[in-house]
Amino acid sequence: MCGIAGFWNYQQQPASSDLIFRMRESLHHRGPDAGAHWIDGALALGHRRLSILDLSESANQPYHSPCGNYTMVFNGEIFNYQSFYPELKQKGHVFKTTSDTEVLLFLLMEYGLDCLPRLNGFFAFAFFDHQAQELILARDRFGVKPLFYYPSDHGFYFASEAKAFFAAGLAKEIQEENLDELFLYRFNSGKTSVFKNVLKILPGHWVKVTESGTRSVTGRWFHLGEQIMAMPEIKNPLEWFEENFHQSIKLRMIADVKVGTLLSGGLDSSSTLFSQHAQGFTDLSAWNVAFSDTRHDESHLARQLSSELGASFNSYEFQEDELVNLTRDSILHHDEPIMHFSDGHLLGISKKAKEKVSVLLSGEGADEILGGYVRYKIHDREMRYRLLSLIRFMPDKWLKNERLRKMKRYLQMNNREAEILMNANELYPSDLQNLGINSAKLLEEYRIGILEEAKKVYPKNRYRQLLYLEQHTHLYTLNDRNDRTTMGASIECRDPFLDPNLVVGTGSLPDSYFRSKGKGKYLLMNSIGKQLPDYITKHRKVGLSVPWETLILNQPYLRGILEDLPKSGLFSFKPYCYLDIKGIVAGFKKDPVKFYPIIRQVYFTAWWYQVHFEKKDS
């Protein structure tokens, strides 16, 4: 696991060693174990290394082929790398390391981009062919590892995180036209970002750069829908799922450093730890975030399971002042505004874990792949949807629960496709009108394109369409959060539920395996779940939620940010400039529950703006 960066100057201007050094060192947290760069004329490649496989210096990067024609910088892990040894040795390749980096380099030399579908892992890499003068950038299927690029006036730049561009002196400016999507959906989908000129390489895509960085073309090497439709029928799906889940865990335990598990006490992370124990792995450790508020706490469940499975249990509660500092640090690490608001806790537990391990396994992805969120249920059955839709006609005074009032606003859109697109939102079009925002771009091209793909794969099932959309949007944001918070502590986070065999195979199964009764996640509940204790499988779903509405009002530093919101420069940009921010702050003080969705949207974005642009809090 590492951080990569580089640039290719136009007009063949010699690359600056100082510039690539600044870029790579801005990513030091991603790879504290080694750092180096390589320059060839106008091209520069930089690397920071977190040593996981083959801890020797011989596996350091940038990595060069024996023939001298190929150079690569690579971030990630290829979990099935050992399976390629016989094939590559037969072709005459001689291995000098036991790293997956060397395997990936040889595969790219032999097969080019055609090797990517054979890889089981997560990755972002830059591969340079000296003779062809071609630079290839590529990213893994589900966007677990980040990769950005910045086409400037004088060169083509790329990096694991956007901060490397700004360390190189490139302009750090807000792309105002992207703020509509950020405000409504809480993140920018597709290749866009909140910054001008900072673009993402989409998951499952590649970019080829030629002619001294002046020409680039993009392609897609992984299409989930096409893979699902081409998947042969799976016999005995429950047995298949359990077998492949165990295999995914086995692959993700491969490391030359210690591996731990993020254990909340919920079904997904408990299944992850259980599989390790069932397969005979030893020296297990569990890392848990505790809450004194019992509504949010599952630490007692995680502790009991750890004890029964023989794993050392490490639980930490992050108090108010510490949480403020961790959240501010996570805002710096993430570069773009955070959207899940649990980043501080994940950064904190990752820092604690780093004292003993360098790899953590996570249960992330299970909800999106298997159908686990309560908000999905509304689209599960047509009769349920029709009954729930009647809430549109009920007066608000009859709806005492804020969740019911939110459902009413959601269903008032009276548009099934819009409801799928906005299923993860906190705000809806009627909210925008009430806030005075009458002009905003609500439907993004990327989201609509993914929904059209989903309709081809699942033409008669809106529930499955929703899951497919989530796997290309909401899941990506969770992967971003996990990457920035764990790598912020120099930890590699692995996600067994995102094994490509599991994701594609699960997506090909009949609708009957996606019943939303109870906790949902029918496949997991009826395979690994059958072997877990009742106190895990029958406990209500909690998730990693943080009582920010209380903290913002009562913690002095956070209260100060609230009081200063009307002064924030954020509110000079559209659509934020249309808001009555003084009225919103006053309303939140009076009724924190009612105003929490809108205050959370603007509060954390304003805090981000303060940290990154006003320099008062960095």
**Residue range 23-30: mean pLDDT, rounded:** 98
Q: Is residue 530 part of a domain?
A: yes
Q: What is the CATH number of the domain that holds 208?
A: 3.60.20.10
Of 543, 535, 525, residue with least CA distance to 303: 535
Regarding whether 418 and 521 lie in a shared domain, the answer is yes
Q: Is pLDDT above 70 for 544?
A: no
What pLDDT, on a 0 to 100 scale, did the predictor assign at position 513? 95
Regarding whether 139 and 91 lie in a shared domain, the answer is yes
Q: Is pLDDT above 80 for 543?
A: no
Instruction: Look at the block and give the residue holding tokens 């059955």.
Output: 381
Regarding whether 312 and 292 lie in a shared domain, the answer is yes
Instruction: Look at the block and give the residue holding tokens 């892992």.
Output: 121
Nearby residues of 320 by Cβ (< 8 Å), 6 or more positions away: 551, 555
Q: Could you tell me the residue range of the domain that residue 262 belongs to? A: 233-316+346-537
* Inter-residue contact 388 to 403 (CB < 8 Å): no
Q: Is residue 248 part of a domain?
A: yes
Q: Is pLDDT above 80 for 28?
A: yes
Regarding whether 169 and 97 lie in a shared domain, the answer is yes
123 backbone dihedrals φ, ψ, rounded to 5°? -165, 155
pLDDT tens digits, 549-565:
999 999 999 999 999 99
CA–CA separation, 600 vs 1, rounded Å? 33
Domain stops at, among 537, 571, 605: 537
Regarding whether 508 and 365 lie in a shared domain, the answer is yes
Regarding whether 212 and 238 lie in a shared domain, the answer is no
Q: Is residue 581 part of a domain?
A: no
Q: Is residue 326 part of a domain?
A: no
Regarding whether 129 and 14 lie in a shared domain, the answer is yes
Q: Report the percent of the chain where pLDDT is more than 70.
A: 99
Regarding whether 288 and 217 lie in a shared domain, the answer is no
**Residue range 135-163: mean pLDDT, rounded:** 97
Q: What is the CATH number of the domain that holds 503?
A: 3.40.50.620
What pLDDT, on a 0 to 100 scale, did the predictor assign at position 438? 81
* Inter-residue contact 167 to 26 (CB < 8 Å): yes
pLDDT tens digits, 561-606:
999 999 999 999 999 999 999 999 999 999 998 899 999 999 999 9
**Residue range 417-429: mean pLDDT, rounded:** 94
Domain stops at, among 196, 222, 248: 222
- Between 131 and 298, where is the model more confident? 131
Regarding whether 490 and 382 lie in a shared domain, the answer is yes
Regarding whether 260 and 218 lie in a shared domain, the answer is no
Q: Is residue 151 part of a domain?
A: yes
Regarding whether 283 and 149 lie in a shared domain, the answer is no
Q: Is residue 597 part of a domain?
A: no
pLDDT averaged over every residue in the chain: 95
Domain stops at, among 502, 537, 572: 537
Which three-class secondary structure state does DSSP give residue 150? strand
**Residue range 104-121: mean pLDDT, rounded:** 98
Which amino acid does the sequence have at 328? R
Q: Is residue 502 part of a domain?
A: yes
Q: Is pLDDT above 70 for 478?
A: yes
Domain count, the chain: 2
String of DSSP letters for 171-202: ---B-GGGHHHHHHHSS--TT--SBTT-EEPP
pLDDT tens digits, 362-416:
999 999 999 999 999 999 988 999 999 999 999 888 888 888 999 999 999 999 9
CA–CA separation, 255 vs 33, rounded Å? 16
Q: Is the pTM for the entire model greater than 0.75?
A: yes
Q: Is residue 525 part of a domain?
A: yes
CA–CA separation, 613 vs 618, rounded Å? 9
* Confidence band of 618 (pLDDT split at 50, 70, 90): very low
String of DSSP letters for 508-575: TS-GGGG--STT--HHHHTTGGGGS-HHHHTSPP--S---HHHHHHHSHHHHHHHHHGGG-GGGGSTT
CA dihedral over 427, 429, 435, 436, signed as positive or negative: positive
Torsion of CA 287, 297, 475, 434, to 10 degrees: -150
From the number of C-beta atoms within 10 Å of its C-beta (0-12, 13-18, 19+), residue 233 rates as: exposed
Regarding whether 214 and 71 lie in a shared domain, the answer is yes
**Residue range 504-515: mean pLDDT, rounded:** 95
What pLDDT, on a 0 to 100 scale, did the predictor assign at position 616? 55
